């Protein structure tokens, strides 16, 4: 039995539609042929492999190609600070000092960690900023991925108390009370970075563009075809080849974030272990959902 895809509208939006277009290539365009004044149908585009995925920025305003440079600079800067297993990462510095001492971090990293803790509290741990003890154990998506022993999982589960993340607003410091605790912001980092990159593009005068960070799609303004033309964002069919969409949504100044179990996984003895973990069991979430898409104002 195939698993289901779920579409969640996190913020009420007017004029939002879902139209069937399975077996078609995913697109981010409108159906009308015209091009608005000051826009171009062939965007200024730059692609790089960052944040563990293929990232792409597209700018449709005529004469705004140079906006891509500071936007990618911001993406690299934040990625270097947030990504774990990076020598220059501020998150790694926090993890290395777990149970030892607080670590002073930059304002943006502090704000992100603080937000992640708030979400951890609100969700009662369904989202957990210290899930790293589990994700680093399984290593799903990496060459050294493996299925750990139950004893290893049980030990890692003792390191998931997000209430042991101490924050000092004045010093902008983060302290993990217990050795072995690991912050992993993979579930929130791309969204945060997408918002920051979009802000850079807007400050550079971009009014029509797309920030594509893997499953995070953020659209700036209206489509290049006109102020009354929304973007048409395709949603990947989790049960079919990459690039095949199950439907599309029309959005303006919104973000469409999709996460699923179909791309990053470890297969052993016919069983697929994906990268979305249940913080209560230490195993990948086991339900009938293959993909979830969220539409909201901010990524």
Domains along the sequence of the chain with CATH:
4-63+207-296 (3.10.520.10), 85-176 (1.10.3980.10)
Question: Residue 125: which pLDDT band, with cuts at 50, 70 and 90?
Answer: very high
Closest CA to 100 of 170, 186, 178: 178
Least confident of 22-31, 90-99, 107-116: 22-31
Q: Which residues pair with 297 in a beta bridge?
A: none
Distance (Å, rounded) from C-alpha 10 to C-alpha 295?
6
pLDDT of residue 203: 98
285 alpha carbon, distance to own chain's centre: 18
Distance (Å, rounded) from C-alpha 176 to C-alpha 94?
7
Q: What is the dihedral of CA 70, 57, 191, 188, to 10 degrees?
A: -90
Predicted confidence (pLDDT) per residue in 133-168, tens digit: 999 999 998 899 999 999 999 999 999 999 999 999
Strand order in the sheet with 173-176: 103-104, 173-176, 165-168
Residue 27 has pLDDT above 80, yes or no: no
Whether 183 and 113 have beta carbons less than 8 Å apart is answered as: yes
Distance (Å, rounded) from C-alpha 279 to C-alpha 211?
30
Please state the rounded mean pLDDT for residues 17-24. 34
């Amino acid at each position: 039995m195939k698993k289901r895809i779920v579409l969640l509208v996190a913020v009420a939006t007017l004029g939002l539609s879902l139209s069937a277009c399975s077996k078609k290539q995913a697109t981010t365009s409108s159906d009308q042929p015209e091009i608005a004044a000051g826009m171009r149908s062939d965007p200024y585009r730059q692609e790089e492999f960052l944040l563990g995925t293929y990232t792409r920025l597209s700018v449709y305003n005529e004469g705004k190609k140079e906006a891509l440079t500071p936007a990618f600079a911001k993406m690299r800067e934040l990625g270097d600070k947030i990504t774990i297993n990076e020598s220059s990462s501020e998150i790694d510095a926090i993890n290395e000092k777990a149970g030892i001492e607080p670590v002073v971090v930059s304002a943006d990293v502090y704000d992100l960690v603080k937000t992640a803790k708030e979400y951890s509290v609100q969700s009662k741990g369904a989202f957990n900023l210290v899930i790293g003890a589990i994700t680093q154990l399984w290593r799903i998506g990496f060459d050294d991925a493996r299925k750990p022993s139950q004893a290893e999982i049980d030990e890692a589960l003792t390191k998931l108390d997000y209430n042991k993340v101490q924050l000092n607003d004045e010093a902008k410091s983060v302290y993990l009370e217990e050795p072995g605790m690991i912050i992993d912001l993979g579930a929130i980092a791309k969204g945060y970075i997408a918002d920051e990159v979009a802000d850079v593009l807007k400050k550079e005068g971009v009014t029509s563009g797309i920030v594509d960070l893997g499953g995070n799609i953020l659209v700036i303004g209206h489509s290049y075809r006109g102020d009354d033309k929304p973007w048409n964002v395709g949603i990947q069919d989790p049960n079919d080849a990459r690039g095949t969409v199950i439907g599309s949504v029309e959005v303006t100044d919104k973000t469409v974030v999709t996460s699923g179990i179909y791309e990053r996984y470890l297969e052993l003895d016919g069983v697929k272990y994906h990268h979305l973990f249940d913080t209560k069991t230490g195993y990948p979430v086991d339900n009938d959902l293959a993909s979830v898409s969220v539409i909201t104002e901010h990524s």
